[in-house]
Structure 1
């Protein structure tokens, strides 16, 4: 079976407080959700009716069973999710201190985690080749054997074979606590950029990939590295997407922020949906921006991913609507 979207990389249990605006040490109750950036992106795309699957690994434990159940509940194919003996499924705690403070605490990822134990031999190369969009992350490159597995999967989709509705996306989600050094991350990113047709990251993540500079300069360097589209998230200035022939900027969509942690994953799933729908790039960016804003205005990540009508309603309310 081929998929509209196949993601690869991190999965975890997100344990988020029900108590808002207090330090984690003072929280008295929590909610439990599926988490992990590429897994969230798959859930977000499935909410738009896209066929989605994820390549990842969990512990052989009750939390691993929970993540399988949640993937299936959201309509995400979990057939390429396997357990690792003797490792626990990671859990991620956060404090929710709106509008800007959302510290994360990773448990079960050090010294390693199940999703860093994906091996090249277990990659379903045909599924990778057949997917319309293949989405990976820089976090997946932080340890072996997952970094070799990800490179192996990328090599199954030569960049020259992409286009016409087929894309390989590298999410530049650099998290320094997962790496021995930034130089190591840069080396791994550049090995994988040669296979990507689209790179997505904020200013700091783009700096790890291609160096510091203005958004225009960073986008140009990503294009020079070989991607067909560079997407640079510019914070309060919005999001820029640049190709060889056009540059598009989407202004932020104002909302009251409750939890900003899932906004990027919501952006990713919506971005994929817009691309596969064949919309003009401006509409793709505006839709993805609004989808990210909706999740930022909610508490959870996977559970609060919006439906298409939710996003369209917000765009219309902000006088940025379009005909899908």
Structure 2
């Protein structure tokens, strides 16, 4: 089966508190969810009706079996998800202290984790080459053998051989606790950027990738490195995207923030959907912004990913242009949430 989206990277069990506004040591109960950035992006795209799959690894344990079950629930193809013996499935805790404090605590990820054990000779290069969009993250470059697998995946998908409507996206997702230094991360990103058509990151992530500067300077450096669409997230000022001929800024979609951790992944899945639908770049950004805002207004990440109907409803409420949907959304329950 050809995939609309094939991602590679992190997967984990997210353990999120049911108690809002308190430190982790004071939390009395938690909920368990599917997590991991590359995996969440696949879930988000599937919610928009896209055929999505993820290349990743779990532990050979109950949490690994739980993640397979969740992927199937969210209609994400799990054929490239395999267990790694003697390594536990990673678990991620967070505290939820809106509007801006959401510290993350990674367990079972250092010194290594199953999804960093993906090896180049295990890749289905035909599936990678055939996917309409291939999505990888900077976090997957932080250690071997994952680093080599990511490079091999990109080499298996030469830019010169991409068909019309195919894209290769690099999420500049930078987690300092997984790297020896920013310089090390920048060196690895430089090896991947020539193979990428779209790069997405916030100010800090772009600074690690191509150096400090204004959003326009960072976008220009990404374009100079060969990227065709550079997306720089501007925080409370929205998001900017730049190509060789176009500069677009999408204003934020205000909501009452509950948990901001999954907003970027929701943005990514919605961005993929809009890109594949062929919408103008401004509409893609507005749609992705609204999708991210909805998740920020909810507690979890994967379970909170919105359907197209929810995104278009929010856009309409906010007086934004609603793009025409060309792909039917799958029947999927949505986490209850009221936008303010």
Normalised to the residue count of structure 1, the TM-score between the two structures is: 0.99
Partners of 1:317 and 1:155 lie apart in 2 by 44
- What secondary structure, in the 3-state scheme, does the structure 2 residue paired with 1:193 have? helix
Aligned ranges for residues 241-320 of structure 1 at < 5 Å? 241-320=241-320
- What secondary structure, in the 3-state scheme, does the structure 2 residue paired with 1:260 have? coil
Cα shift at 1:161: 2.3
Partners of 1:34 and 1:156 lie apart in 2 by 29
Cα shift at 1:163: 5.4
Normalised to the residue count of structure 2, the TM-score between the two structures is: 0.95
Q: Which residue of 2 aligns with 1:22?
A: 22
Runs of 4 or more above 6 Å deviation: none
Q: Which residue of 2 aligns with 1:224?
A: 224
Q: Which residue of 2 aligns with 1:174?
A: 174
Question: Does structure 1 retain, via aligned residues, the 8 Å contact 2:279–2:323?
Answer: no
Partners of 1:181 and 1:15 lie apart in 2 by 28
Partners of 2:320 and 2:161 lie apart in 1 by 35
Partners of 1:200 and 1:241 lie apart in 2 by 9
Q: Does residue 59 in structure 1 map to residue 59 in structure 2?
A: yes
- Unpaired runs of 5+ residues, structure 1, are none
- What secondary structure, in the 3-state scheme, does the structure 2 residue paired with 1:194 have? helix
Q: Which residue of 1 aligns with 2:188?
A: 188
Cα shift at 1:323: 3.7
Alignment length (residue pairs): 324
Partners of 1:229 and 1:3 lie apart in 2 by 21
Partners of 2:318 and 2:297 lie apart in 1 by 15
Q: Which residue of 2 aligns with 1:31?
A: 31
Q: Which residue of 1 aligns with 2:125?
A: 125
Q: Which residue of 2 aligns with 1:4?
A: 4
Question: Does structure 2 retain, via aligned residues, the 8 Å contact 1:162–1:197?
Answer: no
Partners of 2:28 and 2:236 lie apart in 1 by 33
Cα shift at 1:158: 1.0
- What secondary structure, in the 3-state scheme, does the structure 1 residue paired with 2:79 have? coil
Partners of 1:49 and 1:238 lie apart in 2 by 25
- CA distances 1:286-324 after superposition (whole Å, capped 9, x unpaired): 000000000000000000000001000111111103241
Partners of 2:98 and 2:28 lie apart in 1 by 18
Question: Does structure 1 retain, via aligned residues, the 8 Å contact 2:283–2:323?
Answer: no
- Unpaired runs of 5+ residues, structure 2, are 325-340
User: Over aligned residues, Cα RMSD in angstroms?
Assistant: 0.7
Partners of 2:172 and 2:307 lie apart in 1 by 25
Partners of 1:14 and 1:236 lie apart in 2 by 26
Partners of 2:204 and 2:304 lie apart in 1 by 26
- CA distances 1:228-268 after superposition (whole Å, capped 9, x unpaired): 11000011211000001101100010000000000000000
Q: Which residue of 1 aligns with 2:160?
A: 160
Partners of 1:145 and 1:322 lie apart in 2 by 43
Partners of 1:303 and 1:69 lie apart in 2 by 13
Partners of 2:279 and 2:105 lie apart in 1 by 38
